[in-house]
Amino acid sequence: MGIKIGLIGAGRMGKVYASTLAFSISEADLVALADPSLEPLDEVASRYHIAQRFHDYHELLAQKDIEAVVIASPTGTHAEMVIAAAQAGKQIFCEKPLSQDLKACDNAIAAVKQAGVKLQMGFMRRFDPPYAAAKQKILEGVIGTPVMFKATSRDPRRTSLEFARRENSGGMIMDMGVHDFDLARWLMGSEVRRVQSEGACLAFSELKEVGDIDNAVINLRFTNDAVGNIDISRNAVYGYDIRTEVMGTEGSLWIGYLQQTPTLVLNRAGVTHDTVPYFMERFAIAYAEQVRVFVNHILNDTEPHVTGEDARAATAIGIAATLSLDEERPVLISEIE
Amino acid sequence: MGIKIGLIGAGRMGKVYASTLAFSISEADLVALADPSLEPLDEVASRYHIAQRFHDYHELLAQKDIEAVVIASPTGTHAEMVIAAAQAGKQIFCEKPLSQDLKACDNAIAAVKQAGVKLQMGFMRRFDPPYAAAKQKILEGVIGTPVMFKATSRDPRRTSLEFARRENSGGMIMDMGVHDFDLARWLMGSEVRRVQSEGACLAFSELKEVGDIDNAVINLRFTNDAVGNIDISRNAVYGYDIRTEVMGTEGSLWIGYLQQTPTLVLNRAGVTHDTVPYFMERFAIAYAEQVRVFVNHILNDTEPHVTGEDARAATAIGIAATLSLDEERPVLISEIE
Amino acid sequence: MGIKIGLIGAGRMGKVYASTLAFSISEADLVALADPSLEPLDEVASRYHIAQRFHDYHELLAQKDIEAVVIASPTGTHAEMVIAAAQAGKQIFCEKPLSQDLKACDNAIAAVKQAGVKLQMGFMRRFDPPYAAAKQKILEGVIGTPVMFKATSRDPRRTSLEFARRENSGGMIMDMGVHDFDLARWLMGSEVRRVQSEGACLAFSELKEVGDIDNAVINLRFTNDAVGNIDISRNAVYGYDIRTEVMGTEGSLWIGYLQQTPTLVLNRAGVTHDTVPYFMERFAIAYAEQVRVFVNHILNDTEPHVTGEDARAATAIGIAATLSLDEERPVLISEIE
Amino acid sequence: MGIKIGLIGAGRMGKVYASTLAFSISEADLVALADPSLEPLDEVASRYHIAQRFHDYHELLAQKDIEAVVIASPTGTHAEMVIAAAQAGKQIFCEKPLSQDLKACDNAIAAVKQAGVKLQMGFMRRFDPPYAAAKQKILEGVIGTPVMFKATSRDPRRTSLEFARRENSGGMIMDMGVHDFDLARWLMGSEVRRVQSEGACLAFSELKEVGDIDNAVINLRFTNDAVGNIDISRNAVYGYDIRTEVMGTEGSLWIGYLQQTPTLVLNRAGVTHDTVPYFMERFAIAYAEQVRVFVNHILNDTEPHVTGEDARAATAIGIAATLSLDEERPVLISEIE
């Protein structure tokens, strides 16, 4: 009865989107799933009652009744799939990042433009209620002119060594920082002009072997002269810690939370509460909300607000910040264009 | 493919359960809806794609393929519907309270027992993650022996004057306190023996005309000698304020939260955050979770933990606390048996 | 150079006042100390460089150059000392309570009035910055009309068994509740009309032997019909827990804090902070501030705001709440006059 | 009876130390005050009953009975006064910074060493209870190995334009960051090796005319490879905001607080609390405690823990961070030696 949607990818993120499409969005019908691996394909298709299943995503794209696709495959395949989906005339929702390569971003953006289809990128934090509330308050002028951006992005444990390799994840700054780079541009209402990174492998020495780090701080300078800093860590053993601040001339906004269950334990050891375990506990609502918004963009024929250009800009900042780490100097975003 | 469920009631709570059954519980199929009012019946049935619709709930109960019913009709009809559903051999989930009359509770409980069906009562707070975590910690002995129960239950605005009448709501103490009476028994692991209420109409003078009050404090004495207090108010203009504490010999547990969106605004006026607007924002997860547990009890043929007897006990405390208000004296629960 | 002050009492509270008078109030000179016990007398006098020391407080009162006295002796002696100090023409600051006996309160108040001296009672919480800020906000109408008073007063450990006896402490409700009874009257701007207590010995069974309890909840009914509840406990093993709320028709005020050191520890066990250990850590500023205000009342010849009548009223509520505990019924304050 | 102390400086900080020495430290006698301005000299001396007063601080240093001096004069005079006091054989407590010039620091340190006197620098935050508690926990290994340092230092309003000039304040980074540079070295247990600053004049355009900025972020790289970031702002219109974090391999410590009065106001606008107005409200205890510790070092003939070398190191980081701002590049601390 709703919009017919095909999902590409039956891995970790594929399951997230399958669940959302199957249960949370009544205007969408999840009718097809594609994944080259047989086992997850069957498991996910069965669990969420998805009628059609394909090993090759091109077959999914060839189905005429499928109006839109959700791309949740490994990062390295996003750009080519966006191009193929655009050429097949599908409306496209694509998990972030579009690509870790700027040229590939450009090609995907061009294909989407040429096909005249919609592309919404999966920067879900923009749809998280506290971030959305903050953006709204900034627009209302509650904090005056934003002058400083602060972000903390910390994982409770390190990624796999294989994924940590630059060729897979893009390195920690690209991998974990990309959401903050997007928030920085969006919340500050200004592009990033220059970055300077300090980072090192301090907690998990085995990451050195694959060329990655586990802690970094990144200074930001915006085109409107505002300043910022992002700290990233893989060893927040206490939990998943995502907090953001936008400070302006007339006030400040703090966004995020650390406590998961509102239960306090008070005993001789003091007062204790738990923390958010990981990203799905923190951003479950946002993951669903962004797809709901995407479906509504299709229904109402309106343009998505999180575009391919946004994805490209976040990638550019990530490339520059990683170059700054390597070369131990500030890097202008304009250098890497 | 799942358990076939019929829903009785298409009002405010009926919509809550329709949404939960339609979208959140994959093991259940919402196949029928009954409501005497045509408009909500059609609206809810259409919105949630419910195939069968009935004006008379007896017709719904007559459907052989319906295995279970969810009763979300007005309070005064709960007991008779539980009896009819039991006699029809259906598994039963019933919104609280079972009845504001102890005899009616007894009749419903007896009918359920005779029919050998399951009855789970909708005290959803027990399924709210912080309350569930607290109960677990008490069982683990984290706070030693519970000795004091504290609860705050406050609405952001008054109910309608019509609903406020004793014959409809049971009065404020019964209406708003029933969840706390249930939590008191459950978390303290002891029955309430005696109550004493102080209450008055202090904020909304129009409530006096229909015989209701808007603020009350209720002392509790448990059979194991522990003590407690519940405060209830209809004029928490700042938001929906539900907090509970269980204090023991070795520590204390505080349960609940007041902040809805984790966004802090800092400006010359100080630091400000919002509050939870009302009960659905606060307990959405709990409403879904209790139905999921009910469905699993059917699937696994296990007994629900929130029983008709629990509902009867909460009602008895409510009757006693209201009598204490009227007669300005402590009332033993045993008096009203 | 300042007002010459004599201190009566060199025990726990005497040391608090000696330190305050010696170091924090430049307009006062602590010139004399009286205590029947030789050891504390000498220790405190030496430590704070107090020139004159007396075993018998009457000798201190006989010193013509002493303008004011601070009475910090055992509770049972307060009333007689106030009378003697008034007859000696001294300005009087007296630790709470004035007496646990209403007749003794009346005699002391009469003596003060007859002598035309000032009497300020040591309800120091009124001078604690958060309580003072709350009172100010209530007067400004920030919360509309106060309709509910809530208080939590908990000690981290039990008192000595000897002190716990009714003839010494007045029992737990009188001993620990007296500050809350004073706050209730002051913050609500209304007298208490009726009380009902539930209490038991639940954590320290040895208290039963001396006739005391360790946990209680006390319902309050004010003359303006507002309601309230105070909970008291001796087994807040997690720390010293003093919190108060005044809820009105237009908002609510929460007063107090539990965290002592603003250091959060975040590790695999969660997020932890400490608590306030005991009353001096919590109310050090208030203890000093009330004496500073007293000295200023002398300097400016203005009347203290915390009077003998206030002390008498708090005692009356304590007597009524204890009677309610004993007789298991609501008690009107008017009954015990 | 205690150690005789002379105070140099009767300005803002001089009053702070006069009050502390006069009222809070019983082992010290404040016997002399020096200030070239007649009015503050007389006012402060009278208010705190200081017997001797001098226009020329050399006269104060010439008094044989004065054992120690507290230097609270303008920043530019600290180094020469330390040298003169050392040559006069006095024990020295000196407000931070020692000097904004490294050569001047060296000279002062050498003079102190040659004279064999004690020098304690006024980095009072180390004596603030939450910072002291955090340092203790780090030493106990509670967070494992520190790997990241985060600091926020924000003033509620800009300084005077005259003071903002580089030649007076050293510029915002030096002026406001010096405490954080000291905390960074102390809490991380490692020297800072490299800094990179981004800063601009964003809120108070008039600061541009005197060559200063109002917002900055400073990346830190420590000799042990740990990373860090400090943000500094002059436009925290919401209050005085000083927060610090030390994150380690096994956990994290958050230090500081924003709320001044523990009173919450809850109304239709949400939940609101106040903030700390400025540094004396925040660090009053720390200011007193550091002097108490200094006096005890004299009494016990032990060495102060906050040394001239510490002051020099903080100044060096400030110079490097300011150079980084000017030259838009990372600066090694070793460059400016």
The domain that holds B55 is classified in CATH as: 3.40.50.720
Report the C-alpha gap between A81 and C62 in whole angstroms.
98
pLDDT at B315 over 80: yes
B215-222/A241-248 β-pairing = unpaired
Q: DSSP secondary structure string, B106-130?
A: HHHHHHHHHHT--EEEE-GGGGSHH
- Residues D100, D192, single domain; the answer is no
User: pLDDT band at A245, cuts 50/70/90?
Assistant: very high
Q: Which two tokens stand for residue D7?
A: 């105070």
Q: What is the pLDDT of residues B92-116, one digit of tens each?
A: 999 999 999 999 999 999 999 999 9
- Residues D95, D135, single domain; the answer is no
Chains in contact with B, where contact means 3 or more Cβ–Cβ distances below 8 Å, are: A, C, D
CB atoms within 10 A of CB C19: 18
Report the C-alpha gap between B229 and D131 in whole angstroms.
39
Single out the residue in B67, B83, B117 at which a domain terminates: B117
Single out the residue in C58, C83, C117 at which a domain terminates: C117
Residues of chain D with Cβ-Cβ distance to C252 below 8 Å are 265-267
pLDDT at A292 (0 to 100)? 95
D187 touches chain A (CB under 8 A): no
B45 touches chain A (CB under 8 A): no
Among residues C111, D18, D231, the alpha carbon closest in space to that of A229 is found at D231
Q: What percent of chain C has pLDDT over 70?
A: 100
φ, ψ of residue C115 to 5 degrees: the values are -80, -15
pLDDT at B243 (0 to 100)? 97
Single out the residue in D117, D136, D170 at which a domain terminates: D117
- Residues D216, D271, single domain; the answer is yes
pLDDT at C266 over 80: yes
Report the C-alpha gap between A47 and A44 in whole angstroms.
5
Report the C-alpha gap between D115 and D118 in whole angstroms.
9
A23 touches chain B (CB under 8 A): yes
In a domain, B34, yes or no: yes
pLDDT at A1 over 60: no
Chains in contact with A, where contact means 3 or more Cβ–Cβ distances below 8 Å, are: B, C, D
Q: Which of A227, A235, A328 sits opposite D249 (nearest CB)?
A: A235
CATH value at residue A195 = 3.30.360.10
Q: What is the pLDDT of residues A306-330, one digit of tens each?
A: 999 999 999 999 999 999 999 999 9
Q: What is the pLDDT of residues C145-174, one digit of tens each?
A: 999 999 999 999 999 999 999 999 999 999
CB contact under 8 A, B239 and D274: no
- Residues D146, D189, single domain; the answer is yes
φ, ψ of residue C256 to 5 degrees: the values are 120, 170
**Residue B41 · residue B94 · CB < 8 Å:** no
Q: Structural domain of residue A217, as residue ranges?
A: 126-284+314-336
C9 touches chain B (CB under 8 A): no
User: pLDDT band at D314, cuts 50/70/90?
Assistant: very high
- Residues D108, D165, single domain; the answer is no
**Residue D314 · residue D175 · CB < 8 Å:** no
Residues of chain B with Cβ-Cβ distance to C231 below 8 Å are 148, 150, 227, 229
Report the C-alpha gap between B319 and C105 in whole angstroms.
42
- Residues C88, C233, single domain; the answer is no
DSSP structural state of residue C223: T
Q: Where on the phi/psi map is residue A182: left (φ > 0), alpha (ψ -120 to 50), or beta?
A: alpha
User: pLDDT band at D323, cuts 50/70/90?
Assistant: very high
In a domain, D301, yes or no: no
In a domain, D300, yes or no: no
User: pLDDT band at B333, cuts 50/70/90?
Assistant: very high
Q: Which two tokens stand for residue A14?
A: 């594929």
> Residues 241 to 260 of B: which have CB under 8 A from any A CB?
250-257
- In the chain, the amino acid numbered C41 is L
In a domain, D275, yes or no: yes
pLDDT at A116 over 80: yes
pLDDT at B22 (0 to 100)? 84
pLDDT at C337 over 90: no
* Secondary structure tally for chain D: helices H, strands E: 12, 15
- Residues A137, A155, single domain; the answer is yes
pLDDT at D23 (0 to 100)? 78
User: pLDDT band at B1, cuts 50/70/90?
Assistant: low
- Residues B278, B157, single domain; the answer is yes
**Residue C159 · residue C173 · CB < 8 Å:** no
Which one of C152, C242, C266 makes the best mutation probe of the A interface by having the most chain A beta carbons within 10 Å? Answer: C266
pLDDT at D1 (0 to 100)? 58
Residues of chain D with Cβ-Cβ distance to A235 below 8 Å are 147, 247, 249
**Residue B134 · residue A262 · CB < 8 Å:** no
pLDDT at C1 over 80: no
**Residue B128 · residue B286 · CB < 8 Å:** yes
In a domain, B297, yes or no: no
Could you tell me if the ipTM is greater than 0.85? yes
CB atoms within 10 A of CB D281: 12
- Residues C90, C163, single domain; the answer is no
Domains of chain C: total: 2
A270 touches chain C (CB under 8 A): yes
pLDDT at B148 over 90: yes
Cα atoms found within 13 Å of the Cα of residue A185, Cβ hemisphere only: 23
CB contact under 8 A, D237 and A231: no
pLDDT at B35 (0 to 100)? 97
B3-8/D3-8 β-pairing = unpaired
- Residues D81, D159, single domain; the answer is no
Which one of A271, A273, A274, A276 makes the best mutation probe of the C interface by having the most chain C beta carbons within 10 Å? Answer: A271
Residues B135, B139, B143, B146, CA torsion sign: positive
Q: Residues C44-63: what's their mean pLDDT? A: 96
Report the C-alpha gap between B283 and B257 in whole angstroms.
11
Size of interface A-B (CB pairs under 8 A): 79
In a domain, C295, yes or no: no
| The pTM of the whole model exceeds 0.80 | yes
- Residues B92, B163, single domain; the answer is no
Report the DSSP beta bridge partners of residue C217: C198, C231
Q: What percent of chain B has pLDDT over 70?
A: 100
Q: DSSP secondary structure string, C40-77?
A: HHHHHHHHTT-SEEESSHHHHHH-TT--EEEE-S-GGG
In a domain, D237, yes or no: yes
**Residue A148 · residue A251 · CB < 8 Å:** no
Q: Residues A236-243: what's their mean pLDDT? A: 97
- Residues B246, B139, single domain; the answer is yes
In a domain, A298, yes or no: no
